[in-house]
Amino acid sequence: YAISLRTRAWIETHFGWLKAAAGMRQVKQRGLTKVEALFQLAMAASNLVRLPKLIAAGAA
């Protein structure tokens, strides 16, 4: 249960970032394939934002 709570909080931070920074609060595209592509692009951007922090943690 504790692992589930921690994982859920981690996932919610990413969805919060998508809504706030990536502009996914209200999408302007129509159609499932276009929205899915936008979502995947935004999640890739989220990973790129996290990458320097992960590299710094790995080097330490």
What does the pLDDT look like over 8-57, one tens digit per residue?
998 898 889 888 888 888 888 899 999 999 999 999 998 898 899 889 98
Task: Retrieve residue 36's tokens.
Answer: 């899915």
Q: Cα–Cα distance between 44 and 38 in angstroms, integer?
A: 10
Residue 59, pLDDT above cutoff 80:
no
The domain spans of the chain are 1-59
Burial track 10-47 (b if 16+ CB lie within 10 A, e otherwise): eeeeeeebbeeebebeeeeeeeeeeeeebeeebbeebe
Tell me, what's the pLDDT at 40? 93
